[in-house]
Amino acid sequence: MTHEKRHFHRFPRVGRVIIEHEGARHETELVDLSLKGILAAQPQGWTPNSGEPCQIEMQLENVDTPLFMEAAVAHCDHQRIGFRCLHIDLDSITFLKRLVELNLGDPALLERELSSLG
């Protein structure tokens, strides 16, 4: 039996991710996202180290406005990279909060996740 340590629900989403790291741009596909970070397919030719800072731009399917966050590589394995959000602009977090709220369907769960961000 697997015991999840996650405090944040993750939601699968279709979208494009652009990762800026040390002056290079890597484009890939979004796997899922949460209030605390994202999981993306590993771009070909780039294997980052844990903790490396990146700028993330996400263009979600059926959403006109991109989301932006400053992130750090949390893990890189099985052709996927997890990013931990370090900073997110107000417009992006407002949209992300609404997306999580719609997916959770329970305001109490959303409030629990928001209080865990602090």
Fold of 11-117: Thrombin, subunit H (2.40.10)
List the chain domain ranges: 11-117
* pLDDT at res. 3: 41
**Residue 39, both tokens:** 């999981």
* pLDDT at res. 7: 56
Digit-coded pLDDT (tens) for 5-48: 545 677 778 899 999 999 999 999 999 998 889 999 999 889 89
User: In the predicted model, what is the mean pLDDT of residues 96-112?
Assistant: 72
Digit-coded pLDDT (tens) for 51-86: 999 999 999 998 899 999 999 999 998 799 999 999
* pLDDT at res. 99: 82
Q: Give helix 90-104 / helix 107-117 axis angle, nearest 10°.
A: 140
Q: Give pTM, 2 decimals.
A: 0.82
